[in-house]
Structure 1
Amino acid sequence: MGMSFSGRVALVTGAGAGIGRATALAFAAEGLQVVVSDIDAQGGEATVQAIRTAGGEASFVRCDVTRDSDVAALVVSTLETYGRLDYAFNNAGIEIEQHKLAEGSEAEFDAIMGVNVKGVWLCMKHQLPALLAQGGGAIVNTASVAGLGAAPKMSIYSASKHAVVGLTKSAAIEYAKKGIRVNAVCPAVIDTDMFRRAYEADPRKAEFAAAMHPVGRVGKVEEIAAAVLYLCCDQAGFTTGHTLTVDGGATAI
């Protein structure tokens, strides 16, 4: 069963690396026009170049998802460039803290919540009217298995991802009869630059991260991209308000 994406446009935030880049490339490989967005212009432009080299079509828009004016301009630019918006993957996120709750700082809290929660809220706030005007579409937000349960030594990050799940489910119900589906993908540990930064100082932690998944390894960015594309495709038309866990069996234990 092939996925139907003919003539569609996708917007991906946090697309300068990792899961975002892999998903932007996957959308383009399916023939979509892709708006690549990131606060990191160099990374975003590299993603666009990779898409074009592979024969796809993409453009880059720099965006700080914590700024309302940036997000509004991102959606406007998408509509002006391609004339429509069909899918949005709100993936921009900031990495985890690695200490107990009482050891955190207010600045750390504000930074994580600003990107992971406010950023997703602002993106949906501006994407939903565009989708409504068009008659429908799909949004996927990046949550985490840390947003489905407890996450010791990453309480702020966990709280931010619980919030993403709440935003996702609430928006899904609000717009369910308007032709707009809103879902979240919940990865476990994925092999990204963020993962490597978190564990580079202690290789034993990386080994532990692999062992915590019953499949015996961390996930691949392409595996998350595949989940996002499924949640966007027409064949997933009866799926909304869902948290799709891609975790190598970690939450099944």
Structure 2
Amino acid sequence: MAFPGVTVIVGAASGIGRATAQLFVKRGCTKIVIGDVSTKGLSETKQQLLQVNPKAEVVDESCDVTSEDSVNHFFGQVNSNFGRIDHACNVAGVLMPGTSPEFSAKDFDTQFNINARGMWLCQRAELIQLLKQEPIYPSGSPSPIRGTIANVASMASLRVYDNLPSYCSSKFAILGFTKADAMRYGREHIRINAVCPGVIKTPLLGEVRDDDTTNIAEMTKEMALGRQGRPEEVAEGLYWLSSPQSSFVTGISLPVNGGKSLKRVFKGAD
């Protein structure tokens, strides 16, 4: 199975980003650029991808999404290596819990700069490149496609958690620019979507305090499937949103959450 074009994944050093890179290569992607601030994890991901397909062209490049210069340099390297982007997955993020009274402005800025501003910087750079290039005609797609962008938001983009106001605000923002740009650039044959993972077993969850407001077991109790998700299961959503099989899908937020309720949840409330 051949997956057409060049894929770019930002946040590929571990977790969902690494699983997504592996899935793309397993499904036939032979040209892939992976970026992350963790160069050690990025190198490990590259080696794993080459084990899947030794003939794949894998470029690993440092990318700090909090730095506009770093993001622009990263996408400059993408252009230097392959000259185009066909599929982009923006995965980089951080989870810093805490109520508003106990949260510092510095921590709020850190979380927002990574989750929201950083992802927007990547999406902007991707759009600039996509608008320059000619569309391709993938097998199975009824229309030409100039490129796809798939962002990782969160269930916290769709509902609130009363101990995560900073995190929720950063993830709500992702859906804002995802959907706005999807509406703007659909006519340019660019599709932009987001996945909203629930409780996924990744290193990110290690940053959540195991207390009565963030206990993972308690969080999974209200899920229909009653378990944490795996990075590979989120990767399937990102892959589908990038593939010709979703050719009539843009501007959506796809929950990958094990059947989690979208109602607002407050401690002590029904």
CA distance in 2, matches of 1:252, 1:122: 28
Contact (CA 8 Å) 2:223, 2:259: kept in 1 or not?
yes
1:83 aligns with 2:83: yes
1:38 aligns with 2:40: no
Contact (CA 8 Å) 1:186, 1:243: kept in 2 or not?
yes
Q: What is the aligned-residue RMSD (CA, Å)?
A: 1.7
SS at match of 1:250: coil
**Corresponding residue for residue 122 of structure 1:** 121
CA distance in 2, matches of 1:36, 1:152: 34
**Corresponding residue for residue 224 of structure 2:** 214
**Corresponding residue for residue 109 of structure 1:** 108
1:185 corresponds, among 195, 210, 225, to 195
Give 1:231 shift.
0.3
CA-to-partner distance for each residue in 1:35-65, whole Å, 9 max, x for gaps? Answer: 1100000001110010011114311110111
Read off the aligned partner of 2:77 and give its amino acid letter.
S
**Corresponding residue for residue 62 of structure 1:** 62
**Corresponding residue for residue 132 of structure 1:** 131
Read off the aligned partner of 1:85 and give its amino acid letter.
I
2:159 corresponds, among 133, 149, 152, to 149
CA-to-partner distance for each residue in 1:179-213, whole Å, 9 max, x for gaps? Answer: 000000000110001113425689x9232132231
SS at match of 2:84: coil
SS at match of 1:31: coil
1:167 aligns with 2:165: no
Give 1:132 shift.
1.2
**Corresponding residue for residue 238 of structure 1:** 248
Give 1:88 shift.
0.8
TM normalised by structure 1 equals 0.93
Contact (CA 8 Å) 2:96, 2:207: kept in 1 or not?
no
Contact (CA 8 Å) 2:46, 2:60: kept in 1 or not?
yes
Percent sequence identity is: 35
CA-to-partner distance for each residue in 1:16-42, whole Å, 9 max, x for gaps? Answer: 000000001111112212111000000
Q: Any stretches of 5+ residues in structure 2 without a counterpart?
A: 136-145, 264-270
Q: Any stretches of 5+ residues in structure 1 without a counterpart?
A: none
Richer in helix (by share)? 1
TM normalised by structure 2 equals 0.87
**Corresponding residue for residue 47 of structure 2:** 49
CA distance in 2, matches of 1:252, 1:159: 16
CA-to-partner distance for each residue in 1:151-181, whole Å, 9 max, x for gaps? Answer: 1100100000000000100010110100000
**Corresponding residue for residue 143 of structure 2:** none
SS at match of 1:128: helix
**Corresponding residue for residue 208 of structure 2:** 198
CA distance in 2, matches of 1:47, 1:212: 33
1:176 aligns with 2:186: yes
CA-to-partner distance for each residue in 1:97-130, whole Å, 9 max, x for gaps? Answer: 1x22221101110001101111111111111021
CA distance in 2, matches of 1:5, 1:200: 41
- Larger Rg, first or second structure (1 or 2): 2
Deviates more, 1:130-139 or 1:155-164: 130-139
Matched residues, number: 248
CA distance in 1, matches of 2:189, 2:261: 31
Read off the aligned partner of 2:157 and give its amino acid letter.
G
**Corresponding residue for residue 268 of structure 2:** none
Contact (CA 8 Å) 1:199, 1:206: kept in 2 or not?
no
Contact (CA 8 Å) 2:156, 2:168: kept in 1 or not?
yes
Deviates more, 1:128-137 or 1:157-166: 128-137
CA distance in 1, matches of 2:96, 2:156: 10
